[in-house]
Amino acid sequence: MKEKYLEDIKEIKEIMNRSTRFISLSGLSGVSTGLIALVGVAAAYLMVFQEQNWLIEQAVSIDATNLFYLLLIAVVTLGLSIGSAIFFTTQKAIRQSQKVWDQQSKRLLVNLSIPLVTGGLLCLLLLYKGFVGFLPALTLVFYGLALINASKYTWPELRNLGLFEIVLGLLAIQFIAYSLLMWALGFGVIQVIYGLIVQKKYK
Amino acid sequence: MKEVLKDLDKAFENRIRLGIMSALVVNDYIDYTSLKELLDVTDGNLASHLKSLEKCGYVSYEKAFVDRKPNTNYSATEKGKEAFIKHIKAIEQLLQ
């Protein structure tokens, strides 16, 4: 009798998890996007920020060449990150014989996108107005909020990762001269570490 | 003990019905095909259990069309959610 109910509870928990969370999100996608982000930040430093004194609270006037470089780095980094995340996640879904595009993954994507797209548009507007110094901080904060929002629909660990990103984003405003370093830490180092943790835990 | 047993819902004695309710209480709605895949059951099996949950007033559905293919979305009613929570609480007490 007791065993039957224990078994029932186990089953209930399992179904609740499986029906709400997208479990095929691969930890390796965290590692790969982290490494890509590190290269992206390095490129932004070498190609743009090294020569300029732009990590300040005031608006600066950005010339067309540097604006082009910044947008190019952003687009390439983002594209490669999304691509690698989709690749590793699809691989994992195939291995687990799960569908990649189902109700759970759609819900995950929508909830991740709302804060992320908001932040992205805000950053583009600020870049257009010359407030380039705020970009590392704001991208970190909005990315963190997006992760926290998405964590309900996939690995709960994303919530803590999101909190770390927000803290680093706030530090990047306070110590704006070091905000590129926060960028590398948040999008690169911490993301790689979390990717490895998730990968190990949910193999 | 008698009191607790009274709270156990006959409707949830079956594993598949219990599974259906578990999935529906944590989701706004789930379509028929996803429910079938989630619980890994046959059409006939799922349909008959859904029917009996409907009869209890625990589950409601809405017919919709996706790409011109019929698709039915199922959700748990307030009554169904209450009954499910009561059932779980009774199980918890039994296990204590």
pLDDT of B4-63, one tens digit each?
777 788 889 899 999 999 999 999 899 898 899 889 899 999 999 999 999 999 999 998
**For residues A72-101, average pLDDT:** 92
User: Domain limits of chain B?
Assistant: 2-95
B76 shares contact with chain A (CB less than 8 Å): no
From the list A122, A189, A190, A116, the residue with the least C-alpha distance to A148 is A116
Which residues of chain B does A12 touch, with a Cβ-Cβ cutoff of 8 Å?
18-19, 22, 88
* Under 8 Å between Cβ of A62 and A41: no
Which residues of chain B does A20 touch, with a Cβ-Cβ cutoff of 8 Å?
26-27
* Under 8 Å between Cβ of B62 and B29: yes
Give whole-number Cα distances, B48 to B13, B20, B54, in Å: 15, 12, 10
Q: Which of residues 6-25 of A touch B (CB under 8 A)?
A: 6, 8-9, 11-12, 15-16, 18-20
Residue A117's contacts (CB-CB under 8 Å, 6 or more residues apart) are: none
Q: Which of residues 41-70 of B touch A (CB under 8 A)?
A: none
Region of poorest pLDDT, from A32-36, B9-13, B59-63, B82-86: B9-13
Residue B64: pLDDT band with limits 50, 70, 90: confident
Angle at A77 between CA A74 and CA A79, to 5 degrees: 100
Length of chain A measured in residues = 203
Give the model confidence (pLDDT) of A122-164 as tens digits: 999 999 999 999 999 999 999 999 999 999 999 889 999 999 9
Q: What's at A90, amino acid-wise?
A: T
What chain B residue is nearest to A101 in terms of C-alpha separation? Answer: B34
Does domain B2-95 fall into CATH 1.10.10.10? yes
Interchain proximity B31–A103, CB inside 8 Å: yes
What value does the mean pLDDT of chain A take? 94
Residue A116: pLDDT band with limits 50, 70, 90: very high
